[in-house]
Structure 1
Amino acid sequence: MQKPAFQTVSVISTQQITPNMQRLTLAGQGLAEFPSDCEGGYIKLLFNAVGGTDLTGLDENNRPVMRTYTIRRFLAEQQAIEVDFVRHITQDNQCGFASRWAMNAQVGNTISLRGPGIIANLNTAADWFFLTADMTSLPALSAKIKQLPENAKGYAVIQVESLEDKQKLQAPDGIEVHWITEGLADKARSLEWYEGHAAVWCACEFDSMRQLRQYFRNEKEVLKDNLYLSSYWKKGVSEDGHKVIKRQDAEENS
């Protein structure tokens, strides 16, 4: 699938859905070209060097800053997508470009984006399923879990800032959903490991991903074709810095 060029979309809805999550609905004619299976995929939001959305002053030597976010829901008839943003606020009241923009966005505001990019699907022919996420990857898990077979069994373990951040998921009855505020790896290890081949979907903070990789890949020996592992961010590191660390880690653990 060829990715569309940069396009501009408008905010048509904004809502704080939990204490630490903001949901924006973005609409634009170009979104009509998005594939029907784009939910759970990603877009790149574009900012200038100071975190604004005006890109008119940029040129080849001054490229936009890109931040990656998940398409939580695709509203084809409205030519729109829902995108969830973690409301990152540090003790000094600072937050990243995208989070700050989302928290202050008003209906009618515009932003440029690129996408969509599609991430790997779960092997739905597996005997059972194990999904893990933190708040940054919760939108992707929300899309992936509703694609599971109706008779699927297994677990979804989701780390949130507060239990007030729990969301309603469209999960099969056989999927046990665990909302936690402690470490993902510790909780994953505490759950019974079923017989048969598991399909694992894991996306979270870099250090948590490495702990889960040790468990799923090295200890439980989940089949390579059944294993999706990704870090969406690293604590204390910008997205650009995280990309470098992520690439180095992939080369060392391929």
Structure 2
Amino acid sequence: MESRSPIQDLDHKLDILEHVNQDHSEEVLAIAESHVSRSLKIVSAKIVDLFEEGVLIQANTLEAKPSEDSTSESQQDIFAPFVINGSLEDKILYLAYAAIVKQGRDFSGTGKRFFEVINTQKVTPNITRLTLKSSTPLPDYYPGHAFAFVLKSLQKQPELVASSQGKKSWQKNLFDRAFIWLMKHLSTKHRQKLLMSANKDVRLYTLRNAWQSEGSDFIDQAHVDVFTHGNTAGSQWVKSLSKGDIISSRSEAKDKHPHLHQGQALLVADETAYPALAGILEQWQNPITPYIILLSEKATEQAYFKVTDLPDGAHIERLVCAPQQQGEKVLAALDNVTNIDAVWAAFESDSAKQVRHFLRNERNVTGKNNHTKAYWRLNVKR
């Protein structure tokens, strides 16, 4: 049996485990698939424990039985050993990247889309709404769905060749394999530089809503609301866009929040997470009204929620503070909240970590019920 040494920093271990299970289920599935027989079809997979030497995954599988013309369902524990040195995040990320590339897929995502800019407008002093037209069908379920936009614009939309969809060119396959080789052999410091370089011109922005325009056969138009401020790369890109520009996304991420459908929910968001929170509130299904904390550096930004359909009777706490004060301000507000069963929260990284640990250790909100996310990091350009 493989050596399995416990990770001493329990909070850090749980942070990673919960984040990966909540937001990277496809990556976990890829790791599991690379460690089982091809005769097994993995229906779902989740990480159940982390060790210094590897990750323990619990998978629900289906096995075909040709002689009986049937399938057999079972649950299987899979231990995937780490193959590189570095941080816990690096080790899991590498397992996922290597598994995806081994399967011939593109680890940078399969959500390549092109959009035409129809309009841009200010909805608050620092939130710009992009009205976009997609060349491919958009999801009809949108709260928290985000696109990784490439920070450039094109003069003309590339033609999409149907026969090549879903296939990777040999050049891209070679590049991905070279990237994986570098990830494995570089030091932790240089590995981080490589990842930052690969993502330096990409920003994740949330789909606010989407609809089917007149004459279209699918959901083709959308609003994407972006918090802009200062001279950051993302802000400058948004300000440079004008009607008719073609922009692209290279991947997309789906937020998941069915845990909010029952019990007393706490919702927290700063300006970067307003679009996701607005979508969650407009599609609220829980008969118990949520407790909402809105964070912003300037009070004027909270006007974003003037046109949002809020659940009847929802309690809203509006906090105006500097970004580095978000954590302490939220914790102070939570003194007035007696019961918390489920959480969706998204704001600055260090503050989110502070609040997430408080909710886990002091208020017993754990696992799938504690979705306290880092949407950005202070002192890193957005």
Against the structure 1 CA distance between its residues 55 and 226, is the aligned structure 2 distance closer, same or farther, given a 3 Å change threshold? farther
* Matched-pair contact (CA < 8 Å) for 1:150–1:172: no
* Matched-pair contact (CA < 8 Å) for 2:144–2:279: yes
> Of Structure 1 and Structure 2, which has the larger fraction of its residues in helix?
2
Distance in 1 (alpha carbons) for counterparts of 2:126 and 2:143: 22
Q: Deviations for 1:188-226, whole angstroms, at most 9, x for unmatched residues? A: 43342234x511001111111012112211111113221
Q: Which residue in the other structure is 1:203 paired with?
A: 346
Answer yes or no: is 1:86 the counterpart of 2:221: no
Listed as ranges, the matches of 1:1-254 within 5 Å are 4-30=110-136, 32=137, 34-47=138-151, 52-54=152-154, 65-77=201-213, 79-89=220-230, 94-96=231-233, 98-149=234-285, 151-166=287-302, 167=304, 168=306, 169-182=308-321, 183-185=325-327, 186-191=329-334, 192-195=336-339, 198-238=341-381
* Equivalent AA in structure 2 for residue 37 of structure 1: Y
TM-score by length of 2: 0.54
Aligned with 1:212: secondary structure? helix
Q: CA deviation at 1:63?
A: 6.2
Distance in 2 (alpha carbons) for counterparts of 1:132 and 1:189: 13
Against the structure 1 CA distance between its residues 109 and 55, is the aligned structure 2 distance closer, same or farther, given a 3 Å change threshold? closer
Moved over 3 A (4+): 1-5, 59-64
User: What's the Cα RMSD here?
Assistant: 2.7
Q: Tell me whether 115-124 or 140-149 shows the greater mean CA deviation.
A: 115-124
Determine which structure has more spread, i.e. the larger CA radius of gyration.
2
Q: CA deviation at 1:55?
A: 10
Residues matched between the structures, number? 225
Against the structure 1 CA distance between its residues 81 and 39, is the aligned structure 2 distance closer, same or farther, given a 3 Å change threshold? farther
* Matched-pair contact (CA < 8 Å) for 2:127–2:225: yes
Q: CA deviation at 1:71?
A: 0.6
* Matched-pair contact (CA < 8 Å) for 1:40–1:139: yes
Q: Which residue in the other structure is 2:100 paired with?
A: none
Percent identical across equivalent pairs?
26
* Equivalent AA in structure 2 for residue 194 of structure 1: T
* Matched-pair contact (CA < 8 Å) for 1:122–1:226: no
* Matched-pair contact (CA < 8 Å) for 1:135–1:159: yes
Q: Deviations for 1:3-42, whole angstroms, at most 9, x for unmatched residues? A: 6552221111111111111111111221x2x221133211
Aligned with 1:116: secondary structure? strand
Against the structure 1 CA distance between its residues 42 and 122, is the aligned structure 2 distance closer, same or farther, given a 3 Å change threshold? same
Q: Which runs of 5+ in 1 are unaligned?
A: 240-254
Q: CA deviation at 1:136?
A: 0.7
* Equivalent AA in structure 1 for residue 311 of structure 2: P
Q: Tell me whether 198-207 or 214-223 shows the greater mean CA deviation.
A: 214-223
Aligned with 2:141: secondary structure? coil
Q: Which runs of 5+ in 2 are unaligned?
A: 1-25, 27-104, 157-170, 176-196, 214-218
Against the structure 1 CA distance between its residues 6 and 111, is the aligned structure 2 distance closer, same or farther, given a 3 Å change threshold? same
Aligned with 1:124: secondary structure? helix
